[in-house]
Amino acid sequence: MELYNSDMRYWWNHADKTFSHIQYDRWLGSTKALSKRWKSQWLFKFPKNVKHVAEYGIGGGLLGELLMNEYNVVNYTGIDISDRQITKASTRLKSCCINKFTLIRTDALTPNNLYRIDTFISQAVIQHFPSDLYTQIFLDILNKGTELRWIMLQTRYGNKRNQGKQVVNAQLTNTSYLKRRLSNFQLTWQSNRYPNGYVFYVFEKVV
């Protein structure tokens, strides 16, 4: 079974630039406005003493830049399906954080992507996954991450999963589903559900 096909790669390489977070205009406002929104919504829960962060679904690399410049992150690994996103993020990060980042173009998360990673972040990506199986494998890999201490996820809340019949909001998740799949971690914080359906979650490794 092919979990992510070439059609999906093509879609993300040609999607609206604001939608894919490589152009910060229209509803995103600006890089400054988006950074401010992240800080008020969830970055105040960013763990202390985090050194190695991986982000899945990186847009233009804005979060990586913010984490390395303002949150003392030593190394950032950006993971994305899209060549366009990787190229845009590389340009941004080379201008601020040379030798502190690694970018990986892949169709699916692998255990090797989590090597030396203590904190994993993914914002508004899971709802675009092509199938429930893809989502399960993704979460199971996170759950088995031996060096992971923190998982920070932004998802769209709901019970219905449409098996990738549409790119937008195909895979909705809820709190009980995430807790069940991330059984090696404890849910330490979740936001209220925003009007657009987004919920932020912070999971910490059970020791």
Query: 2 pLDDT band (50/70/90 cuts)?
Result: very low
Domain boundaries along the sequence of the chain: 6-205
> Is residue 125 classed exposed, middle or buried when 0-12, 13-18 and 19+ CB atoms within 10 A define those classes?
buried
Half-sphere exposure for 172 (CA within 13 Å, toward CB) = 12
Give, in order, the Cα–Cα distances in Å from 152 to each of 8, 127, 184.
Answer: 24, 15, 14
> In the prediction, which pLDDT does 160 show?
60
Tens digit of pLDDT for each residue in 13-22?
998 999 899 9
Local structure of 117: helix, strand or coil = coil
Judge whether residue 149 has pLDDT over 70.
yes
| Interstrand relation of 52-56 and 75-80 (parallel, antiparallel or unpaired) | parallel
Question: What are the DSSP calls for 10-65, one per residue?
Answer: HHHHHS-TTTTTSS--GGG--HHHHHHHHHHHTGGGPPTT--EEEEES-TTSHHHH
Fold classification of 6-205 is Rossmann fold (3.40.50)
Tens digit of pLDDT for each residue in 58-103?
999 999 999 999 999 999 999 999 999 999 999 999 999 999 999 9
> In the prediction, which pLDDT does 142 show?
98
Judge whether residue 11 has pLDDT over 80.
yes
